[in-house]
């Protein structure tokens, strides 16, 4: 049976223009029951709907903002920002190192795909962890989450912005695409297409963090989400996302788009499963791999390509 996340089913947008589409509660309940998940079906059946059975969009927006707010607190406790910068800082150092050799000119533009409440972008803006000359942009198809992210950024007087829409349709080209917890939402051919779209863009690199597909991941997700998430939807989707995490092999294979060198940081064989919750798959233009490894120093030993992954202990 496929593992479905409730949030994917109750927030549906037109991928072409980001417009909100009506969602019938009974249809979502039917899909969840057919997937063998009666608990998720009961959660959706309790959500408010109108006379025609269409889920109340305002109630769904409030629920999603509440769940993402709790998710942000979890990210803070797991120090997700610091983990991301451990890889992003040397990546941006590599970009700057090539600036005089036909590399990018500042500002370097980081685009966070599926930014949600904008925790990563706002954290980077608040800490200035990537140094000067970096424009920070968060993009999401969920207008309610983008609105809340923008409100928080303005309240915190942060130098960043948020856009409602498709990250690949921005008028300004991204230098680096990033995301956290997005990859497992793409299934089958859509995962490879996600990477091909970035390879075909002017971007020089991508760095996408997602849940590490370890045996401990579902148990860890169950414990953390049970302890920290109050709404049943957040608890359910937190565990479902761990069950849907892609293997190292799947990520490297999908990221092998033309013109991109795919790399994985801390694959299963080189990481402590008790400490590894998220790990990134990277893609860089081939000329950036050497300066990236140089900027990472000894940590570059944990950065492997497909040919090295085949030789790591499983």
What is the largest distance, in Å, between two alpha-carbon atoms of the chain?
63
| pLDDT score of 139 | 96
Cis-peptide, bond into residue 107, ω within 30° of zero: yes
Rounded to whole angstroms, the Cα distance separating 143 from 129 reads 27
Helix segments in 118-264, DSSP class H: 119-127, 143-155, 189-199, 217-228, 232-243, 248-255
pTM above the 0.85 mark? yes
| pLDDT score of 273 | 59
| Spans in the chain with pLDDT lower than 70 | 1, 100-105, 269-276, 310-314
| pLDDT score of 222 | 78
| pLDDT score of 271 | 61
| pLDDT score of 60 | 96
Rounded to whole angstroms, the Cα distance separating 306 from 314 reads 14
CB 117 within 8 A of CB 145: yes
- Which backbone phi and psi does 29 adopt, to 5 degrees? -60, -40
| pLDDT score of 98 | 87
Please tell me whether residue 74 adopts helix, strand or coil conformation: helix
Rounded to whole angstroms, the Cα distance separating 278 from 287 reads 26
The alpha carbon of 179 is separated from its chain's Cα centroid by a whole number of angstroms, namely 3
Torsion of CA 55, 37, 46, 51, to 10 degrees: 40
| pLDDT score of 231 | 87
| pLDDT score of 2 | 72
Tokens of 88: 């992003």
């Amino acid at each position: 049976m496929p593992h479905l996340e409730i949030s994917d089913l109750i927030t549906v947008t037109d991928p072409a223009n980001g417009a909100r589409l009506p969602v019938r509660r009974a249809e979502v309940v039917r899909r969840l029951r057919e997937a063998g998940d009666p608990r998720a079906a009961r959660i959706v059946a309790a959500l408010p709907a109108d006379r025609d059975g269409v889920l109340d969009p305002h109630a769904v927006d409030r629920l999603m903002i509440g769940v993402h707010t709790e998710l942000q607190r979890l990210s803070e406790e797991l120090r997700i920002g610091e983990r991301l910068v451990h890889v992003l800082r040397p990546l941006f150092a590599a970009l700057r190192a090539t600036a005089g050799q036909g590399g990018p000119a500042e500002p370097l533009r980081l685009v966070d795909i599926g930014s949600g409440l904008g925790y990563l972008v706002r954290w980077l803006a608040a800490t200035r962890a990537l140094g000067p000359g970096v424009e920070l942009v968060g993009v999401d198809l969920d207008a309610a989450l983008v609105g809340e992210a923008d409100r928080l950024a303005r309240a915190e007087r942060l130098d960043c912005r948020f856009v409602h829409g498709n990250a690949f349709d921005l008028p300004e080209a991204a230098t680096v695409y990033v995301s956290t917890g997005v990859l497992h939402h793409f299934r089958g051919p859509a995962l490879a297409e996600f990477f091909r779209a970035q390879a075909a863009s002017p971007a020089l690199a991508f760095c996408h963090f997602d849940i590490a597909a370890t045996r401990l991941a579902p148990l860890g997700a169950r414990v953390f989400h049970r302890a920290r998430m109050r709404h049943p939807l957040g608890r359910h989707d937190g565990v479902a996302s761990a069950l849907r995490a892609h293997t190292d092999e799947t990520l490297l294979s999908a990221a092998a788009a033309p013109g991109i060198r795919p790399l994985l940081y801390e694959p299963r064989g080189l990481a402590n499963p008790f400490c590894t919750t998220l790990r990134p798959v990277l893609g860089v233009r081939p000329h950036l791999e050497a300066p990236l490894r140089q900027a990472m120093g000894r940590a570059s030993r944990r950065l492997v390509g497909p040919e090295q992954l085949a030789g790591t202990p499983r």
